[in-house]
Amino acid sequence: MSNQEKHIFTADRPILKASEDLLNRAKFSRELAVSISKWTEKESLVVAIYGRWGDGKTSVKNMVKEIFENEKTPMFMEFSPWQWANENHITEAFFKELANKLGASKNDDQREVAKKLLDYAEYLELGNELIGKFKNILEKLLLLAIGGTGIISTIVSAEYKVRLIITSLILFVITLALEEIIWGFKWIARWKNIHFEHQKTLEERKAELINALSKVKSTMVVFIDDIDRLSKSEIKTLFRLIKANADFPNIVYLTLFQRDIVERSLEKDEVFAGTDYLKKIVQIGFNLPKLQAGEIHKILFKELERLLDESGLNPKFEQSRWNELFIGGLSNYFENLRDVNRFIATFSFHLGVFKSDTSYEINFIDLIGLEVLRQFEPQVYEIIFYSKKLLTESSGSSHRGSEQSRKKEMEELLEQASIEHKEGVKIIIKVLFPNSQWAWGSNYIYSVGDDEFIKLRINHKDYFDRYFSLYLPVDDIKQSEFEYVLSVTSEEHALFDALMKFHDQDRLPQFVKKFEAYKQVVDKKDAVPFISVMLKLGDILSDEYEGFFSISPVTHIKRIILWYFNKNDFTPEERQDLYWKILESSTAIFLPIAKLWDEADRRNLDKYPDHYFLKNIDTKKILELLGKKIDQNKDRYEFKSSRHLPKILFIWNQVDKAASKIWLEKYINEDANLISFLMKLENITTTTSGYETFVNYFIQLNWLKEFFDDIPSLAKRVRQIKSTTITKDEKTKRLFGNIDRVEDQFLHPEKYPDLMRKG
């Protein structure tokens, strides 16, 4: 990073020179500097610059200082009263710092003033120390008297109380006072030796100081910034200091503060108003030049455009959506440069967190909207965090009976917004979460779908949590990974290799689930390599359901293929010819067989005609291709070891049961193959009781009867294998128990009323 570049965490610092000015205040600063440098009157001048926090007061001060430095005149110093412990030290600290500044000069008159300033400061400091010490003694005596009276009254009779109290107080005061008296004499001695040589009073010393200052040719400018950060008592002390020394010549005080804060601090029990008191001290006051909202917004836009360019997100930027979000929504939150700088600093950080190798895993506009809420409407932001379901489900997905409760939740969310920005918050929420619009009197129905997923929007349930996590989950699929896969859909080998990397990382099921949203993005011309690879994935992924409401990975593959053809503008003839060509040439096993069977079976059942891909190809030809695919693959290792072997054999049974039976008998002639096949027949279910979830493994009798005619003989063979096999494998042990249970179901069906359920 070059020296000229700003670190994102220091972006809120005021500018140091006019070349950094973005708000056209350099001219104002120059005119102010010239006017101050010409001040040569006998009394001090107090100039005030009024402005709110973040309006740029310190930046104006720095530009005035830059001009003084370049012109080598006038002299100036910066006094920071808030650096001192309390108001008791502000006055002497001011004179000491002024003395140090003048004492460093080569000018004799200025060095003489410095000596007198130090003498004046020590005089004031000694007075404050003495007053403070005596004040402490009095406070201790008062506390002792109160506390001592209370203690004594509980342990002695009334006639001795007064005598004991007086005696105790006298003894304690004598003891306590020794240290204070010794300290006092030391300081009195020092005071006398140093300051009472000529027996000068404070007024005499001040008069000498004024006379010495009048001989100094140049003006001394004292910058006092951040006065509104002081406590009320410190503000009063500072302005008393300025007022008490208003007759010091050649000194100009340039004070910077938020006017209403200081005026409230100067008020005194309705005796006088802070406004009137301030008028008696400040001779000239300037309000910072009013900034137009457009000027602030230009700076914001420039910074956002820089981030957009750096991130490479320009092509994905939705201008119309940004206009809708900013106008009336975000715009009112940026009133000054500090608002912009602080926002850009934290937004830059958050954006960087979501950067992957080649892209960003976030929607640029959505992150801006959420970050504005986080900074300026933290209570709204927190409610959004806990309202995922409310804000991410499609607006028409809830039952009508719950609409009122959902509407109430939306209203409660809006109630957390600051009063002046409620309408703005409503606009932000409407843009980020379009399904919320119905809650505010609109019959708007919004469905959250694939478009939101592809564009990484916060209102999609798969991305909502990401916006609040400040990190990417390790097993999440990055946008860059989706983009790479999409870039190689025209090359079958490259596409397959890319997807196998997900398989090696145990992330392929998750990828397939999310990639379903991209089914319309894959180019029509890439249909052959893309669908061919999807069919291959069917041999790798599971077709099992993890729960009642889950969708298996293979089902996601089927949906991708179906909707890819339906959503792209293929004519029915194009779709049929292309699909038939891919099925014929595919080296995949399970899905080509399963898809061909689906086509034939739907015709037999007259079911889902709109899902027919091969409308103009008769059932006989479909079954011929299906048989050919089985015949081509039945001797391959991939066929025998397929995780889908039971389903493939089930289909083969429907087409040619005799051939299927012969093949299976030959295959299971080896004990290892029999055990492997039976394990593939195992079903898994989950049940919940209270707070516990149980996983159940079983083999359904109906499925077993599909492949074996003699269940008792099968069970006997399995028991023989068990008796000759030493295994610690839990799956094999479970299988042995399941076969015994299925045999019992076969022999005693009366014990199992649910025996006829379908497998």
Digit-coded pLDDT (tens) for 228-241: 888 888 898 889 88
Condensed to tens digits (0 to 9), the pLDDT of residues 278-295 reads 988 999 998 887 777 888
- Omega of the bond prior to 74 within 30 degrees of 0, cis? yes
Which stretches within 245-363 are classed as H helix? 259-266, 274-281, 293-311, 319-325, 337-353
Across the range 475-491, mean pLDDT stands at 83
pLDDT confidence of residue 563: 83
C-alpha span between 252 and 43 (Å, rounded): 9
Burial label, 427 (beta-carbon count in 10 A; 0-12, 13-18, 19+): buried
Condensed to tens digits (0 to 9), the pLDDT of residues 417-470 reads 888 899 999 999 999 998 887 777 666 667 787 888 888 899 898 888 888 875
At 106, is the pLDDT very low, low, confident or very high (cuts 50, 70, 90)? confident
SS3 at position 286: strand
Neighbours of 308 (CB within 10 A): 16
For residue 29, give every residue at least 6 positions away whose Cβ sits within 8 Å of its Cβ, in sequence order, or none: 18, 60, 63, 64, 67
C-alpha span between 258 and 249 (Å, rounded): 27
46-68 in b/e form (b: 16+ CB < 10 A) is bbbbbbbebbbbbbbbbbbbbbb
Neighbours of 547 (CB within 10 A): 10
C-alpha span between 230 and 548 (Å, rounded): 65
CA neighbor of 293 nearest in space, from 337, 235, 259, 239: 337
Most confidently predicted of 161-175, 202-216, 683-697: 202-216
Condensed to tens digits (0 to 9), the pLDDT of residues 672-710 reads 898 888 888 877 665 555 555 555 667 777 888 889 888
pLDDT confidence of residue 1: 40
At 142, is the pLDDT very low, low, confident or very high (cuts 50, 70, 90)? very low
pLDDT confidence of residue 159: 53
Among 99-103, 336-340, 689-693, the minimum mean pLDDT is found in 689-693
Higher pLDDT, 589 or 675: 589
Helix axes 202-214, 108-152, angle to 10 degrees: 150
- Cβ atoms of 374 and 470 within 8 Å: the answer is no
C-alpha span between 409 and 389 (Å, rounded): 11
pLDDT confidence of residue 221: 93
Condensed to tens digits (0 to 9), the pLDDT of residues 249-263 reads 888 999 999 999 999
At 738, is the pLDDT very low, low, confident or very high (cuts 50, 70, 90)? confident
What are the respective helix, strand and coil percentages of the chain, to the nearest 5? 65, 5, 30
Across the range 376-399, mean pLDDT stands at 80
pLDDT confidence of residue 19: 82
What is the arrangement of strands in the sheet containing 45-50, beginning at the earlier edge strand? 75-78, 220-224, 251-257, 45-50, 284-287
Is the predicted pLDDT of residue 550 greater than 70, yes or no? no
pLDDT more than 90, % of the chain: 23
Higher pLDDT, 404 or 397: 404
- Cβ atoms of 591 and 531 within 8 Å: the answer is no
C-alpha span between 212 and 109 (Å, rounded): 7
At 271, is the pLDDT very low, low, confident or very high (cuts 50, 70, 90)? low
**Tokens found for residue 333:** 């939150």
Question: How does DSSP classify residue 217?
Answer: -
pLDDT confidence of residue 758: 40
C-alpha span between 713 and 743 (Å, rounded): 9
Any idea how long the chain is?
A: 759
C-alpha span between 22 and 25 (Å, rounded): 8
For residue 346, give every residue at least 6 positions away whose Cβ sits within 8 Å of its Cβ, in sequence order, or none: 371, 374, 375
Higher pLDDT, 596 or 15: 596
Torsion over CA of 359, 365, 371 and 377, rounded to 10 degrees?
A: -170
pLDDT confidence of residue 724: 76
C-alpha span between 756 and 759 (Å, rounded): 9
At 722, is the pLDDT very low, low, confident or very high (cuts 50, 70, 90)? confident
At 399, is the pLDDT very low, low, confident or very high (cuts 50, 70, 90)? very low
pLDDT confidence of residue 158: 52
CA neighbor of 511 nearest in space, from 533, 491, 532, 490: 533
pLDDT confidence of residue 470: 59
Across the range 569-595, mean pLDDT stands at 91
H or E, element range at 255: strand 251-257
pLDDT confidence of residue 737: 76
At 45, is the pLDDT very low, low, confident or very high (cuts 50, 70, 90)? very high
C-alpha span between 221 and 78 (Å, rounded): 8
At 184, is the pLDDT very low, low, confident or very high (cuts 50, 70, 90)? low
- Beta strands 220-224 and 682-689 are unpaired
pLDDT confidence of residue 444: 64
Question: How does DSSP classify residue 262?
Answer: H
At 629, is the pLDDT very low, low, confident or very high (cuts 50, 70, 90)? very high
pTM: 0.58
Condensed to tens digits (0 to 9), the pLDDT of residues 120-138 reads 777 666 545 444 444 444 4
**Tokens found for residue 482:** 């989706």
pLDDT confidence of residue 448: 80
Spell out the SS3 assignment of 734-751.
HHHHHHHHHHHHHHCHHH
The residue to which tokens 């050919």 are assigned: 628
DSSP secondary structure string for all residues of 13-43: SPPSSGGG-SSS-HHHHHHHHHHHHT---SS
pLDDT confidence of residue 170: 61
- Beta strands 220-224 and 75-78 are parallel
Across the range 474-493, mean pLDDT stands at 83
DSSP secondary structure string for all residues of 551-563: --HHHHHHHHHHH
Across the range 546-571, mean pLDDT stands at 79
- Cβ atoms of 417 and 377 within 8 Å: the answer is yes
At 496, is the pLDDT very low, low, confident or very high (cuts 50, 70, 90)? very high
Question: How does DSSP classify residue 328?
Answer: I
- Beta strands 45-50 and 251-257 are parallel
Average predicted confidence (pLDDT) for the chain = 79
Is the predicted pLDDT of residue 150 greater than 50, yes or no? no
Condensed to tens digits (0 to 9), the pLDDT of residues 353-372 reads 777 666 677 888 999 999 99
Is the predicted pLDDT of residue 103 greater than 60, yes or no? yes
Neighbours of 175 (CB within 10 A): 9
Among 34-38, 187-191, 540-544, the minimum mean pLDDT is found in 187-191
**What residue type is 630 in one-letter code?**
I
